[in-house]
Structure 1
């Protein structure tokens, strides 16, 4: 929210059922529908279903109103102006089409609850309106791999309903045998919490939290209050409620967060499905509704978020620059035969043209050509597609499966052009398109690029889709033609990277080294980010190390990632077959839960066929021998610690075994270039009880081998 506007902050009180008044969350209001107005009444509904209506005095220094929860319970609400802010960050929307005079809507309503979904207002001049807001999903920093440790005062161990379940994406839960309890989160790095989400568990609503306090600390000694809640309600099971953090605490980074639940809804137990913390600002994509002036009929009122998506071309000049870069990227990774075939086709189609060889498009269409197309179609084209045609009247290769896009002379409605696959408007409508459908692709690998003229955004863009014969249905919806092209470019870059032909390979080795240093210093999340960037530049080693590191954070699903990696020749070549055999294969089998030869036989056979020469076992006898010798070499001191830990674990002393390993971790160091952690902690069956998921995460947040790091 980079825009600012004046805002009012109210100190509030809410009436208890018995008649007394208690302090409520602060209310911050900033609202300018094109210009500053004096509000008489303001109402809003949030995404959780809470509704609020307030009436202001003429000076807007006090208000009275009513709040209604999703369960229908209402209570009186009142507030008194605490301060006026001259420049508070707000959400800004552009209303009107691009070619019309634009009027900004600036909006901010913060009551401590979930994001606002609907707003209605009346001003003192007799005007008003109603709008519905469309939200963009929020980035979250409370994922399981962002939390290095979570502890609760009490847990239901025998049923597996432990605090770690709060970090999962599935429907597991944490259950405490107490009616009040606390959960403490140690974050991987200090985070600013601007809002957080609690999800109700699967059963027994009387176990839901009702009153709680969220606190943050930088050192675990002093705790600051971030948010306080009372008389909260979850309307159904598996229901996510979002709560906002306001004031200075929202801008303070905390390493430790504590959720202190002081009262539940009446049961003797307490439970939650998940907890998430977010540092991202709430963001909206658009709004739609109506507004009116005194004595006049209501008029449609729509708008889009003021900030354009980064990297998405809008104007013809944007497209020329964007497409020139895309052309250069494609030519950089194509082989000589592909380039010669493409250039021969281009010369046959257009002659020399005005662009140099790296341009894979054509001369731009004139305004007369575009207007003629619009007259033929009977409608004005969406802005991003119109400006694309002005930059290039059609296109050659747009990705791995799109060989050409149509120009102004051949673009047409799907109903008129027909389909080689028997695809008609009625099929597309069954799959969610509104229609009519504009076909913009020409030669492709059994797919169509489609624009939906019936699905139009407030700024005039048409929704865009890919339909392909190999898709189970219509592809992902994109907000515009420009967004579809950007998605195709991202897909092309990903495919090229996976084939070992990265689009932008510069500095991949430097990033790989930087990621290894961060990993060995215990900065797991920084390392993951650096490895990701190195992978995007084509580093197979970085792709592998990213998966290894993520396995310590969450082992589930790692086998799928490894299967994908081991199909990439450049990854195997960079890591080497010996490390693949000794480290990657055991990790894959462990993640997949294949602990016996009978279970693992099919997987081993497929791996042996895909990667001949690994020497994988083919029967029970070979399996037993392989288990004994498959481990990667470790530093002598760590080998001794492993031997001691295995012996302790064999006698049931798992905690003692972990203490030995934990002490030895600090001195562990890699004996080969592409190792960052002792994967044996995850793969050795003898250590299963000692190395719990929480301890595995702790391992990669522990600095390792400080004196011997490369």
Structure 2
């Protein structure tokens, strides 16, 4: 393709062998610029799910013919015609590594409706070509974000097996809970708080029998909930594993470029069993992000040469040079000495304290070269420059007590003083593993010399006894240190000794406003950021808001909060008594009176001095006696709802509450929602999980002025 050319969009058809019938297929979007302006002749690719495709283009790049093979191995003839309208996506930008002369880029975009491309092969019209393997970033990484699932205010199914913990709301919570329908075909309707542009979505298989998995479906969008357009169509799909996440691109042209407030997953066929199941559904408004590519390329008549690159801007912010490290580590040292408890810094010397530097003198080039000679490998750039800035480190955050220096770093398999068997590391390690730390708080830091990025960095891991296997992969040593500093700041903030408290009050106010507006995702995000800056009130309000979405773990979250003095001090003992304690007892009592009795004893230890019920049997009367006052109109609605509920009219009771929700307003600064809906025993049968969710997505008001 010509350099700097726009992406091309092809309308495609497929034909299954032996049928003779051409059927509409997903559009193909292509932008591929590996340097130069030689016309492209052929592209072939394999995606993360194992599907494959090959497309041969005519000289003008206006048509193609080829073949597609599904993840199940079913082949289809494939053809396409260039459409007039280009897509709005510019594709992925990679900075090529290791070249000579001017910096070189690769622009890449291949979307065929399936999972992200994992391997790409090309040939141009002059006899050149190449192959690259691409690494995607994890869906939960910030750089791969754009997730809009938190904008879903409700999900409804044609059928849901609530008695077997198969409610449709389970699709949103990210736990092992599932949605289970007794039908072989069913529909899921998602209502969002605001219209969103949908780029791709993820379906996660459930833990039940594979024959209940969806096999064919349509994803539709609607602006008003009445008129629907098809965004994506799938058939003959499968989920080879349990709890397996599969990624699907939305590629229906202009329909996909419209923002929709309603999404419908119409499952038309399961995989042959009785019923349907799904573990999770996730929606994204941004493309799945890549990290890097490696491979080779060749010019006409030439031999293959290495070809590799990383996503442009990926390493921004991480220390790379010796100067970067000195600046970064000096700031980290100053932060730790300012906010960390003395007991946590017992390994720090007086000399380090006075210098405000928790490391050591940098290693000389001779020492680093000697280490590389001993290891038989060149060290990755960010780790090499770290050693030149400080030959080891004393305390790196809260849980890592010491990083090794040039004299003690070594291959894990060769170190006899480390009680960490290689088999503990799981199967993700390519190896060999370089141990760069001493033992921290039941953890070690490792670099994987077999997982090397195009810029020479080795993947880094924090192995901890509480992780299954290796834990999260970091792209480099620099990335794991940056993440450790972020984690340190988050932990200090949650404990009320923030590293960077500036802006906490503004974030708390923004979270309150968003919560009252029914913008739950924005509120949770603002509260989290305020919590990291030391706001105890934000930490508490985040738990309260989350309880309306899923109250199963609320007592554990409150237990972690209420023993922190700054949280209780900010929200006040009265609110703890009238709101937090009932929430705690309600969540803990879900498993029976025994758990509730234990919760009462535990709460008495966490927050001494509270006038608590003696046993779970007393909790109902205690909650009623300590209930916080509500706005007059809402209080009248509660009285009416309790009366209706006592007569078994739970739907009518909810209708009364629902009408009154917009009239609710906080009577104290740190209230954002009517927690009474979750804690009042008289309303337990009225306020179902779906209705609790609806309550916090409903906009609520500020307290009116006295003269009103």
Q: Distance in 2 between matches of 1:261 and 1:437?
A: 45
Other-structure match for 1:15? 15
Q: What does 1:500-515 correspond to in 2, within 5 Å?
A: 500-515=496-511
1:532 to 528, 541, 546: 528
Q: What does 1:213-252 correspond to in 2, within 5 Å?
A: 213-217=219-223, 219-220=224-225, 223=228, 225=229, 227-229=231-233, 231-234=235-238, 236=240, 240-246=245-251, 247-252=253-258
Q: Distance in 2 between matches of 1:245 and 1:274?
A: 18
Q: Is structure 2 residue 300 aligned with structure 1 residue 306? A: no
Q: Distance in 2 between matches of 1:603 and 1:428?
A: 36
Deviates more, 1:548-557 or 1:194-203: 194-203
Q: Distance in 2 between matches of 1:226 and 1:120?
A: 32
Q: Distance in 2 between matches of 1:22 and 1:9?
A: 18
- Which deviations, in whole Å up to 9, do the C-alpha atoms of 1:150-181 show, x marking residues without a partner? 234555677675543443533522537585x6
Question: Alpha-carbon deviation of 1:271?
Answer: 6.1
Q: SS where residue 78 of structure 2 aligns?
A: strand
Other-structure match for 1:121? 122
Q: What does 1:474-489 correspond to in 2, within 5 Å?
A: 476-489=472-485
Question: Alpha-carbon deviation of 1:302?
Answer: 3.6
Q: SS where residue 89 of structure 1 aligns?
A: coil
Q: Distance in 2 between matches of 1:198 and 1:403?
A: 41
Other-structure match for 1:72? 73
Under a length normalisation based on structure 2, what TM-score does the superposition of the two structures give? 0.87
**Closer/same/farther in 2, CA of residues 592 and 207 from structure 1, 3 Å limit:** same
Question: Alpha-carbon deviation of 1:336?
Answer: 7.8
Q: Is structure 2 residue 381 aligned with structure 1 residue 386? A: no
Q: In the alignment, is the contact (CA less than 8 A) between 1:142 and 1:167 conserved in 2?
A: no
Other-structure match for 1:45? 46
Q: In the alignment, is the contact (CA less than 8 A) between 1:578 and 1:614 conserved in 2?
A: no
Q: Is structure 2 residue 282 aligned with structure 1 residue 281? A: no
- Which deviations, in whole Å up to 9, do the C-alpha atoms of 1:339-386 show, x marking residues without a partner? 999562328xxxx9xxxx444445544545543543454432210012
Other-structure match for 2:539? 543
- Which deviations, in whole Å up to 9, do the C-alpha atoms of 1:246-292 show, x marking residues without a partner? 43444443222233456777899766554332112111122334444
* Structure 1, unaligned runs of 5 or more: none
**Closer/same/farther in 2, CA of residues 87 and 237 from structure 1, 3 Å limit:** closer
1:399 to 374, 397, 400: 397
Q: In the alignment, is the contact (CA less than 8 A) between 1:66 and 1:74 conserved in 2?
A: yes
Q: Distance in 2 between matches of 1:339 and 1:485?
A: 18
Other-structure match for 1:612? 608
Deviates more, 1:277-286 or 1:102-111: 102-111
Q: Is structure 2 residue 198 aligned with structure 1 residue 197? A: no
Q: In the alignment, is the contact (CA less than 8 A) between 2:214 and 2:267 conserved in 1?
A: no
Q: In the alignment, is the contact (CA less than 8 A) between 1:451 and 1:463 conserved in 2?
A: yes
Q: What does 1:338-357 correspond to in 2, within 5 Å?
A: 342=348, 344-346=350-352, 357=355
1:327 to 306, 329, 333: 333
2:651 to 649, 655, 675: 655
Q: Distance in 1 between matches of 2:309 and 2:589?
A: 51
- Which deviations, in whole Å up to 9, do the C-alpha atoms of 1:88-110 show, x marking residues without a partner? 61223344449998643332111
Q: In the alignment, is the contact (CA less than 8 A) between 1:165 and 1:174 conserved in 2?
A: no
Q: Distance in 2 between matches of 1:164 and 1:264?
A: 20
Other-structure match for 1:498? 494
Q: Distance in 2 between matches of 1:154 and 1:446?
A: 46
- Which deviations, in whole Å up to 9, do the C-alpha atoms of 1:594-620 show, x marking residues without a partner? 475433112211221222212223346
Question: Alpha-carbon deviation of 1:691?
Answer: 1.0
**Closer/same/farther in 2, CA of residues 470 and 581 from structure 1, 3 Å limit:** same
**Closer/same/farther in 2, CA of residues 697 and 89 from structure 1, 3 Å limit:** same
Q: Distance in 2 between matches of 1:160 and 1:368?
A: 63
Q: In the alignment, is the contact (CA less than 8 A) between 1:11 and 1:80 conserved in 2?
A: yes
Deviates more, 1:407-416 or 1:485-494: 407-416
Q: In the alignment, is the contact (CA less than 8 A) between 2:14 and 2:25 conserved in 1?
A: yes
Q: Distance in 2 between matches of 1:206 and 1:466?
A: 37
1:187 to 162, 185, 192: 192
Q: In the alignment, is the contact (CA less than 8 A) between 2:426 and 2:470 conserved in 1?
A: no
Question: Alpha-carbon deviation of 1:62?
Answer: 1.9
Q: In the alignment, is the contact (CA less than 8 A) between 1:315 and 1:384 conserved in 2?
A: yes
Under a length normalisation based on structure 1, what TM-score does the superposition of the two structures give? 0.86
* Structure 2, unaligned runs of 5 or more: none
Q: In the alignment, is the contact (CA less than 8 A) between 2:4 and 2:33 conserved in 1?
A: no
Q: Is structure 2 residue 678 aligned with structure 1 residue 682? A: yes
Question: Alpha-carbon deviation of 1:29?
Answer: 1.6
1:634 to 630, 633, 658: 630
**Closer/same/farther in 2, CA of residues 59 and 663 from structure 1, 3 Å limit:** closer
Q: SS where residue 666 of structure 1 aligns?
A: helix
Question: Alpha-carbon deviation of 1:193?
Answer: 0.6
Question: Alpha-carbon deviation of 1:207?
Answer: 7.8
**Closer/same/farther in 2, CA of residues 640 and 442 from structure 1, 3 Å limit:** same
Q: What does 1:421-500 correspond to in 2, within 5 Å?
A: 421-423=418-420, 433=429, 435-441=431-437, 448-467=444-463, 476-500=472-496
Other-structure match for 1:315? 321
Q: In the alignment, is the contact (CA less than 8 A) between 1:211 and 1:264 conserved in 2?
A: no
Deviates more, 1:165-174 or 1:674-683: 165-174
Question: Alpha-carbon deviation of 1:433?
Answer: 4.7
**Closer/same/farther in 2, CA of residues 84 and 290 from structure 1, 3 Å limit:** farther
Question: Alpha-carbon deviation of 1:40?
Answer: 2.8
**Closer/same/farther in 2, CA of residues 259 and 401 from structure 1, 3 Å limit:** closer
Question: Alpha-carbon deviation of 1:649?
Answer: 0.8
RMSD, matched Cα: 3.7
Q: SS where residue 514 of structure 1 aligns?
A: helix
Q: Is structure 2 residue 152 aligned with structure 1 residue 147? A: yes
